[in-house]
Chains A and B, each alone.
Chain A
Amino acid sequence: MTSKTTVNRRHFLRLAAVGAAALGLAACGGAAPTATPAPKAAGPTPTTAPAAKTPVNITMWTMNYGPDTAVWLQMMQDIAKSFKDKSGISVDVQMCSWDVCRPKLLLINQGGEHPDCADMFWLWSNVGLGRGKYGPMPITEYKAELFPDLEQRFAMAGMQDGFYLNEFYGPVYRGDPRTLMYRNDVLQAVGLNKSPSTWDELTEYAKTAQKVDKAGNVTMWGFEFGTDTTKPQQLVTYYWQAGGEFMTKDGKTATIDNDQMRQTLKWMYDMIWTHKVVPPDFMEKGHAAFDLFTGQSLAIAGQSGIGDCNNLDQKFKELDGKWTWDVLATGPKNRVSYYGAGYWGVIRGTKYPYECAKWIAYLSQDENLIRLSQYGGFMSPNKAVMAQPFWNDRPWKKVLPKVMEQIHPSQHPSSAWSAMMVNEPGGVMYDFYYDALVKKVDFDTVIKRTQQRMQTEMDKAAAMEQHNLSMI
């Protein structure tokens, strides 16, 4: 039986074609970028401000800080609103969580989707990766106008992450030093009443504090190299403390094949396998030193960050008074602390570099930084922030000025560094430490192999930078 309206093959094909076209249009229409589109060739010199007649809308990505992401975002948006009231420039602040910010930043450096400005880090590497075409944009030409008192308001020792090759990219608004953390109740119970101040003391303290039951199970580990789940980050510091550097100042030559590296590896190896005070699983995924610390199974963490202290204050009140944050133990040459930092910067490809720089300058005003820092729980090189009672109301916060006296920036001058620090098997630094300290590969072999790998990566990065700089 046929219906009144018949559907023949021609009708069907027409319908299918219309449907496919509709799908295609929907797909194209739905893929609108959230940021201003990148121009074909991003010039190195930003344009000056246009006349403020047409409304300006800029986008900014921020990572999440503080206990509640929504609250953080709202704070940023409130500051953006007050900025708009004063300047007429609209800022759409969007969240880019920590889980995805690193790959997003790397994609920005390859010309991927980007906002006008953003909360960023690893400036040196990203400038190299962006090769003058993408990624971070210097705003040196606006510094005098928009940041006239930068040197007075900020401790410049902590501002290295905002400068590169004599260019200013943006103010460092947060710092993240890593320093010693230990259970003072555990140490006091075994007669240790002051912080360990040298590597030798770390070893002795760890051995004394370690507890093992009758069956040989460790119930209290003496030491962990750090609480950072990004393993290479927690391990590189010890080489710096032995007086070593991973590469030359020009970022062109790897420099790990030396006595300092051997000395460092020997000390670390002995902590794990000779003195047996470090869990041998310390580099495995899922091994969380901070959980051991809060679970009363770890006496000393060689390095920990402000985030851990905030966590202990907020979520582990039962440990109040039982833990101490102090300056790092001194290595053979110094006691530098790993120092990560974040800055607010402008991204190449934006149509509004001046407006972005103006927004960033507003954001980094003392009153805004104070508010953000207290909610986010991060320290800042801004002097007004650190003078606040908030940053002196806990014993661990009072240690910060001393820690900041000796910091080592996490950045390195080769754009290959961030790739080499990948926290996965196969990453150069990960494999280096894993082979030397877990697989117990002969030090000479692993050092030479890693030096070669590093050099290969750095040569590729240097060639890449050279090639693309010549294209501009």
Chain B
Amino acid sequence: MGRNRIIFCYLMVAPAVILVLVITVYPMLESLRMSFLAYDLMRINIDGTPFVGLKNFDTILHDQRFLISLKNTFLFAIIVVSAVIFLGLMMAQLLNMSFRGRGVLRSLILIPWVTPPVVAATIWVWMYQPERSPFNQVLRALGIIQTNIRFLADTTTFLGGISIPMLAVSSVRIWNGLPFVTLMILAGLQSIPVELYEAAEIDGAGALARLRFITLPSLRPVLAILITLLGLGAIGHFEVNYVMTGGGPRDLTSILAVVAYRQAFSFYRFDLASAISTVILVLTSLIATFYIRSRMSET
């Protein structure tokens, strides 16, 4: 490529790079810097912002609420990622078939995606209100339950070790993110040559075998990027948990971003909030690094 052309390319990407540096990289670095300082906004005029090394990290690692939120964050990520991928795969398979109204269905499934997460969370809070929840009404009408399920407040019922409130907020995240995953997988499915399936059918492969030996391997690059993106999103997720439960009841839905937000904007401890944010940064960096290295090793 000629030198002038290279310079021209740099010129063209410069505004975007500057924007990313200013609104993403700079705040990230500033937060990283604050995580090594004492930064209590209520005492800043007395104590200033001295360097304290790893003290903030030590404080949060000894904070029970942080440890609970760390565990919950991983749990939330595992639930959301696995459920969205599984359901997305099923939905995409369905939407890949030919049937009447497929186009309409493909449009309708986008509705959760275009609903802002905060709006979705607010609506679902109402949907999960025990006395008025349509789910409770249907389940009681069907005789499946007798007493109303307290979706966002039940602290005693656990399904497979997962609390009802955690399942409830996860379901909203899954509902909100499913369309995007479905569309991505659908696009991937449509790129798989039909001849492969035909050949497999001729060889006597059943549906499960075709899924296992053709569909999943062919979708591997798509699934890899989706799992990475979903994982990154789940680790740094905030709005659904904060709006629906605030991290309660009894910290059962408390995740890292909620705890960080609370430290910063309720307790004005920007040092601790930055330390927690750094932990989020490290976790998401690990996921991204893992993905990049696996892609590089494949190529």
Asked if A pairs with B, the answer is: yes
Please give the residue numbers on chain A whose beta carbons come within 8 Å of chain B beta carbons, in ascending order.
2-3, 6-9, 11-12, 15-16, 19-20, 23, 103, 106-107, 110-111, 129, 131, 133, 215-219, 280-281, 284-287, 291-292, 295, 297, 419, 422, 424-427, 438-439, 460, 464, 467-468
B46 touches A216 (CB 8 A): no
A419 touches B45 (CB 8 A): no
A12 touches B10 (CB 8 A): yes
B191 contacts across to A, CB distance below 8 A? none
A424 touches B268 (CB 8 A): no
- State A100–B73 Cα separation when bound (angstroms): 28
B7 touches A215 (CB 8 A): no
B153 touches A281 (CB 8 A): yes
With A286-B125, A286-B245: A425-B251 Cβ-Cβ less than 8 Å: yes
A7 touches B147 (CB 8 A): no
B153 touches A426 (CB 8 A): no
B11 touches A7 (CB 8 A): yes
B46 touches A467 (CB 8 A): yes
B245 touches A285 (CB 8 A): yes
Residue in B130, B140, B148, B266 with the greatest tally of chain A CB atoms within 10 Å? B266
- The residues in B between 5 and 41 inclusive whose CB is less than 8 angstroms from any CB of A are 7-8, 10-11, 14-15, 18, 22, 41
B265 touches A103 (CB 8 A): yes
A103 contacts across to B, CB distance below 8 A? 265
> Does B112 belong to the interface (CB within 8 Å)?
no
A8 contacts across to B, CB distance below 8 A? 3-4, 7
Quick one: CB contact mask for B149-175 with A, threshold 8 Å, 1 for yes?
010110000000000000000000000
B2 contacts across to A, CB distance below 8 A? 2
B10 contacts across to A, CB distance below 8 A? 12
B43 touches A284 (CB 8 A): no
B42 touches A280 (CB 8 A): no
Shortest Cβ distance from A40 into chain B, in angstroms? Answer: 14
B41 touches A110 (CB 8 A): yes
- State A284–B243 Cα separation when bound (angstroms): 11
B45 touches A297 (CB 8 A): no
User: 5 closest A-B pairs (Cβ-Cβ)?
Assistant: A285-B246, A281-B153, A215-B146, A424-B266, A286-B125
B131 touches A219 (CB 8 A): yes
> Does B280 belong to the interface (CB within 8 Å)?
no
> Does B213 belong to the interface (CB within 8 Å)?
no
B18 touches A20 (CB 8 A): yes
> Does B267 belong to the interface (CB within 8 Å)?
yes
Contact of A131 among B41, B45, B132, B268 (CB under 8 A): B45
Shortest Cβ distance from A289 into chain B, in angstroms? Answer: 12
B268 contacts across to A, CB distance below 8 A? 106
- State A20–B267 Cα separation when bound (angstroms): 36
B233 contacts across to A, CB distance below 8 A? none
B3 contacts across to A, CB distance below 8 A? 8-9
> Does B61 belong to the interface (CB within 8 Å)?
no
Quick one: CB contact mask for B111-132 with A, threshold 8 Å, 1 for yes?
0000000000000010001111
* Known A281-B153, A291-B129; 6 more pairs at CB < 8 Å: A9-B3, A19-B18, A23-B22, A217-B147, A217-B148, A424-B262
Could you list 30 A-B pairs, sorted by A, with CB under 8 Å?
A2-B2, A7-B7, A7-B8, A7-B11, A8-B7, A9-B3, A9-B7, A20-B18, A23-B18, A107-B41, A110-B42, A110-B45, A133-B45, A215-B140, A216-B147, A217-B130, A281-B249, A284-B152, A284-B153, A284-B246, A284-B248, A285-B245, A286-B125, A295-B131, A424-B266, A424-B267, A438-B249, A460-B43, A467-B46, A468-B46
B41 touches A425 (CB 8 A): no
- State A331–B248 Cα separation when bound (angstroms): 31
- Residue in chain A with minimal CB distance to B148: A217
Residue in A217, A285, A419 with the greatest tally of chain B CB atoms within 10 Å? A285
- State A447–B244 Cα separation when bound (angstroms): 29
A219 contacts across to B, CB distance below 8 A? 131
A16 touches B65 (CB 8 A): no
- State A353–B152 Cα separation when bound (angstroms): 50
> Does B247 belong to the interface (CB within 8 Å)?
yes
- State A12–B153 Cα separation when bound (angstroms): 60
A280 contacts across to B, CB distance below 8 A? 153
- State A8–B2 Cα separation when bound (angstroms): 11
- State A7–B15 Cα separation when bound (angstroms): 17
A419 touches B42 (CB 8 A): yes
Shortest Cβ distance from B150 into chain A, in angstroms? Answer: 6
A216 contacts across to B, CB distance below 8 A? 146-147
Shortest Cβ distance from B38 into chain A, in angstroms? Answer: 13
With A23-B18, A426-B267: A129-B46 Cβ-Cβ less than 8 Å: no
Shortest Cβ distance from A70 into chain B, in angstroms? Answer: 23
Contact of A287 among B65, B153, B265 (CB under 8 A): B153
Shortest Cβ distance from B260 into chain A, in angstroms? Answer: 12
- State A436–B245 Cα separation when bound (angstroms): 20
With A422-B266, A425-B65: A286-B244 Cβ-Cβ less than 8 Å: yes
B249 contacts across to A, CB distance below 8 A? 281, 284, 438
B15 contacts across to A, CB distance below 8 A? 19
> Does B212 belong to the interface (CB within 8 Å)?
no
A295 touches B132 (CB 8 A): yes
- Residue in chain A with minimal CB distance to B247: A425
- Residue in chain A with minimal CB distance to B154: A281
Contact of A286 among B18, B152, B263 (CB under 8 A): B152
> Does B211 belong to the interface (CB within 8 Å)?
no
A215 touches B18 (CB 8 A): no
B282 contacts across to A, CB distance below 8 A? none
B7 contacts across to A, CB distance below 8 A? 7-9, 11-12
> Does B286 belong to the interface (CB within 8 Å)?
no
B65 touches A426 (CB 8 A): yes
B11 touches A12 (CB 8 A): yes
B196 contacts across to A, CB distance below 8 A? none
> Does B250 belong to the interface (CB within 8 Å)?
yes
With A15-B11, A219-B131, A280-B153: A427-B266 Cβ-Cβ less than 8 Å: yes
A7 contacts across to B, CB distance below 8 A? 4, 7-8, 11
> Does B90 belong to the interface (CB within 8 Å)?
no
- State A2–B4 Cα separation when bound (angstroms): 8
- State A6–B129 Cα separation when bound (angstroms): 67
A291 contacts across to B, CB distance below 8 A? 129
A424 touches B140 (CB 8 A): no
B153 touches A6 (CB 8 A): no
- Residue in chain B with minimal CB distance to A16: B14
- State A292–B131 Cα separation when bound (angstroms): 9
- State A468–B248 Cα separation when bound (angstroms): 38
- State A8–B11 Cα separation when bound (angstroms): 11
Shortest Cβ distance from B255 into chain A, in angstroms? Answer: 13
B292 contacts across to A, CB distance below 8 A? none
